[in-house]
Amino acid sequence: MENVTLNNGVKMPLLGFGTYLLRDGLECEQAVLNALNTGYRLIDTAAVYYNEESVGRAIKKSNVKREQIFVTTKFLPADNGYKKAFEASLKKMGLDYIDLYLIHLPQGDINSSWTAMEELYREGKVRAIGVSNFNINQIQNLLEQHSVIPAVNQVETHPFSQKTEMQKDLKSQGIQLESWAPFAQGKNNLFKNELLKVLSSKYNKSIAQVVLRWLIQKEVVAIPKSANVKRINENFNVFDFELSADDMATIKSLDKGSGLIYSV
């Protein structure tokens, strides 16, 4: 597994497993367990996914040591009490610490939320803190008022919304870009796109694998989600080929400059 090093020295896998829409229960638990058995070491969840308990059960059932798993969860600033939200997530997953804790959306009292997260970080209860769905101006406001720089900004990133300029801005501040919805949730007929189909044939890989490889080569962390064992394995099998510079440029031409799901 390839990793990126966050701005505080913590290593984060470039490829992870997302759990959005995998509701709490056996399906989510089994999907996460399958992902861990396949080799994924980054598991992404959130309080509002209502599946943290299933994620925790899967981690316990796996034969993977806790220190080898990078667990991300998120909370909404509107949650009743920042530390209560954090403790609730810890309890549901049965964990002693979180690897990456994110503000899920830029809403409510963001500055108070970040102050509370800084405290959790300094207390060693989280290894890194970051944000999700923030634009550059919102991140800049945090930087101007706080001492701990976000380690990650998790936003919608895929071939149709590539966040190239945002990635440059984030990188200049030492912030890692992470992609949710790497397949654009299938919008714009991504899985039937003619350009991507050509690349799929050229490399003898699926369109999903080509997209994930593209993100990895751009050093964007990706967290594809699936409950299907075959697809879980397929999405992980992206480290045995490399896209050429010309093919990277071909995918760049698909960028529409704005999100299809949630614009920042």
Which residue spans within 109-236 are E strands per DSSP?
126-132, 152-156, 176-180, 221-222
Q: Which has the closest alpha carbon to 103: 117, 89, 87?
A: 117
Find out whether 146 is annotated in a ligand binding site: no
Confidence of residue 264 (pLDDT cuts 50, 70, 90): confident
Q: Percent of the chain beyond pLDDT 90?
A: 91
Burial (0-12, 13-18, 19+ Cβ within 10 Å), 79? middle
Which pLDDT score, from 0 to 100, does residue 259 have?
Answer: 87
Model confidence over 145-154: pLDDT tens digits?
999 999 999 9
- Candidates 102, 54, 56, 108; CA nearest to 77 is 108
Question: What is the distance between the alpha carbons of residues 76 and 48, in angstroms, rounded to a whole number?
Answer: 8
- 3-class state of residue 235 by DSSP: helix
Q: Decide if pLDDT at 230 tops 80.
A: yes
216, 2 Cβ separation under 8 angstroms? yes
Comparing CA positions, the residue from 179, 181, 235 lying closest to residue 206 is 235
Query: Tokens 């397949």 correspond to what residue?
Result: 183
The active-site residue out of 20, 40, 49, 101 is 49
Check if 49 is active-site.
Answer: yes
Say which range, 20-24, 51-55, 138-142, 204-208, has the weakest mean pLDDT. 20-24
Which residues does residue 234 pair with via DSSP β-bridges, in sequence order?
none
What confidence score (pLDDT) does residue 137 get?
97
The pLDDT tens digits of the residues spanning 40-99 come to: 999 999 999 999 999 999 999 999 999 999 999 999 886 556 788 999 999 999 999 999
pLDDT at residue 156 greater than cutoff 90: yes
pLDDT band at 124 (very low <50, low <70, confident <90, very high): very high
Other Cβ atoms less than 10 A from the Cβ of 66: the count is 13
Per-residue pLDDT, averaged over 99-106, amounts to 96
Structure tokens at 120: 């959790």
Cα–Cα distance list, 41 to 63, 98, 116, 237, 252 (Å): 12, 14, 27, 14, 28
Report whether pLDDT(197) > 60: yes
Angle at 251 between CA 193 and CA 182, to 5 degrees: 75
Say yes or no to pLDDT of 158 above 80: yes
The residue written with tokens 């701005």 in the block is: 7
Position 142 pLDDT exceeds 90: yes
Q: Looking at residue 80, what is its pLDDT?
A: 58
DSSP annotation of 184 reads: G
The domains located in the chain, with CATH, are 11-186+211-242 (3.20.20.100)
Locate 20 and state its tokens. Answer: 């959005």
pLDDT at 40: 98
Give the per-residue pLDDT at 78.
Answer: 66
Cα 110 to Cα 103, 107, 210: the distances in Å are 8, 6, 36
Note the pLDDT of residue 253. Answer: 97
Q: Please tell me the predicted confidence (pLDDT) of residue 202.
A: 98
Q: Which residues contact 205 (CB under 8 A, 6 or more apart)?
A: 213, 238, 241
